[in-house]
Copies of this chain bind each other. A is one copy, B any other.
Amino acid sequence: MSVYDRMKDRDVTLPEPPRAGAVYAPVKQTGDLLFVSGQGPFVNGVARYLGKAGAECSLEDAHDAARLCILNTLALVEQHVGDLDLVKNVVKVLGFVASAPGFNQQPEVVNGASQLLVDLFGDKGWHSRSAVGTNELPRNITVEIESIFEV
């Protein structure tokens, strides 16, 4: 089943692929592996989710922020390879969650990204993962996710 069919079934549409904000590449390929730069919860360059999870940003919003990070990631992967059905495996996700003191639900936050990957890619979408906290992220975003795909 095509990734695009699964997207249609779930009313998922990809955003415009974000531009790199500095002197690096959004995606770098080496062999069959795509290393995707850390993505934030931006829409058209504007941060949609700000502040620390557990304080200014609720768990639910942080979860949605993670989902948006991975949507931006998928837009970049599609831009790079031309077709998401060419993805053979989602290899790895590393999620950084800006966390208020005492906030320890980073896995629940990053599930917003992981669930979408499994929903869209099926068996190929199961990935290794880490979810950790951080005290500060660029532009005060709530989540940043970097990832590796195999094509």
Residues of A within 8 A of B (CB): 20-28, 30-33, 35-38, 89-94, 96, 98-99, 101-108, 110-111, 114-115, 118, 126-140, 144, 146, 148, 150
Contacts and interface: CB of A to CB of B under 8 A. Distances in A.
A89 B138 contact: no
A96 B92 CA distance: 17
26 contacts: A21-B107, A22-B107, A22-B108, A22-B114, A23-B114, A24-B127, A24-B129, A28-B92, A28-B126, A30-B148, A31-B150, A35-B128, A35-B148, A38-B129, A38-B131, A94-B130, A99-B135, A101-B136, A104-B138, A106-B136, A107-B138, A130-B146, A132-B134, A132-B137, A133-B134, A133-B137
State the copy count for this chain.
3
B26 A104 contact: no
B135 A134 contact: yes
Contacts of A118: 23
Nearest to A126: B25
Contacts of A38: 129-132
Q: Top 7 closest A-B pairs, CB basis? A: A38-B130, A133-B136, A24-B129, A35-B128, A28-B128, A99-B136, A135-B135
Contacts of A25: 126-129
